[in-house]
Amino acid sequence: MVMKLPAAEKLAEEVRELESQMSDPAVMRNTNKMKGLAQQHADLKEKAELAEAFERVEKELSQARELLASDDGEMRSLAEEDETRLLEEKKKLEEQLETLLIPRDPRDSRDVILEIRAGAGGDEASLFAAELLRAYTRFAERHGWKTHVVSSSMNEQGGYKEVIAEVSGRQVFGILKFERGVHRVQRVPETEKQGRIHTSTITVAVMPQAEEVDMEIKPEDLRIDTYRSSGAGGQHVNKTSSAIRITHLPTNTVVAVQDERSQHKNKEKAMSILRSRLLEAEEERRRSSEASERKQQVGTGDRSEKIRTYNFPQDRITDHRIKQSWSNIESVMEGWLDKIFQDLREAERKMYV
């Protein structure tokens, strides 16, 4: 049975109230408050539009059924066609409604810290890490998100041994959280002369970006070191110690950021990553202690869990959590991940209905 939204008009009124708040000059000057209201507005507007569409379909369906009793054969035939079409439309709206109303992780609307690391496979793993980051970046661009690399370590072949990026936009964590875990790639490397298939792995961590209010970090628990950036940068690298390394002493968690020219910006980004890692570690402890909750997830969210295999010779991507496969790896690696994310959300929806 489908859960019901409030009346469309009531939701529309709430949308207008939010818009009124967002137009207040005092609110517009408060970046954090404005961002929160904008997220609420987007979510509420989606519900309002869905409720309006659902009410319209139910009204048209009622009218079509009244015409089924008509003495006019042609009119009955048209009514039957309308009923079939409207029932299908109603079914789709019900599925969207169920998805919208399932219990949401309150962190779904947050921006994320995305960390990709090469695992087994040497250079081939590093190259695939770079390709997967590119796929996420292109997906983000198409959805109006912003991606910014804050730290990276590359090899001579142009692959990433490790890369950390910020991804910001609407419902970023709610979509990218499905990517947490081990990704395995099977293909023939360009350097392989005998055509043998190699298997490599990379790990992906997706952490909701933590705010200062989420995680209190005591200054005395930190050791902050500055050093000169390595890599590209020309003379700037040799003259300025702008790179930052922060160590959280109680947990021995280390974050190093050097991609920005400003020491202040590097420190700011390093603190953001540190807060997110500490919050994620706390969340992982909670997940591991709540076995019943783990069963309600599409996968456990554990970084050691093998979640997906990309088999290039067979042009097949398989997600091991929902036991589903897709073809056309080339387009997926160009950022067309929509179908995969849609099927993962659908699997999650079915757990609640």
Pairing of β 160-168 and β 146-154: antiparallel
Q: Which two tokens stand for residue 343?
A: 């099927």
Cβ-based neighbours of 130, under 8 Å, separated by 6 or more: 154, 158, 159, 160, 163
The pLDDT of residue 335: 94
Helices 31-67 and 73-101, axial angle in degrees (round to 10): 150
Helices (H), the chain: 8-22, 25-29, 31-67, 73-101, 123-142, 172-176, 235-239, 263-289, 291-294, 329-332, 338-350
In Å, how far are 49, 96, 106 from 4, measured between CA atoms?
Answer: 14, 12, 21
3-state SS class at 251: coil
Q: How far apart are CA 250 and CA 317, in angstroms?
A: 41
Q: How far apart are CA 278 and CA 24, in angstroms?
A: 36
Q: How far apart are CA 156 and CA 295, in angstroms?
A: 42
- The conformational region for residue 139 under phi > 0 = left, psi -120 to 50 = alpha, else beta, is alpha
Does the pTM surpass 0.85? The reply is: no
Would you list the domain boundaries of the chain? 8-101, 112-211+293-350, 219-287
Number of other CB atoms surrounding residue 128 within 10 Å: 27
Q: Which residue shows structure tokens 């398989």? A: 318
The pLDDT of residue 330: 94
Geometric angle at alpha carbon 117, from 115 and 120, rounded to 5°: 155
- Taking Cα atoms as reference points, which of 252, 296, 256, 291 lies closest to residue 273? 256
What's the fold here for domain 219-287? Double Stranded RNA Binding Domain (3.30.160)
The pLDDT of residue 350: 74
Would you give the DSSP letter of residue 7? P
The string of DSSP letters for 306-337 reads EEEEEETTTTEEEETTTTEEE--HHHHTTT--
- Taking Cα atoms as reference points, which of 257, 307, 301 lies closest to residue 281? 301
The pLDDT of residue 266: 87
3-state SS class at 221: helix
For 112-211+293-350, the fitting CATH number among 3.30.590.20, 3.40.50.620, 3.30.70.1660, 3.30.2270.10 is 3.30.70.1660
Q: What are phi and psi of 184, to 5 degrees?
A: -110, 135
Q: How far apart are CA 351 and CA 330, in angstroms?
A: 31
Write out residues in the chain with pLDDT < 70, as ranges.
Answer: 1-6, 101-104, 191-193, 212-214, 229-240, 286-304, 352-353
Q: Check if the beta carbon of residue 182 is closer than 8 Å to that of residue 303.
A: yes
- Taking Cα atoms as reference points, which of 183, 187, 127 lies closest to residue 155? 127
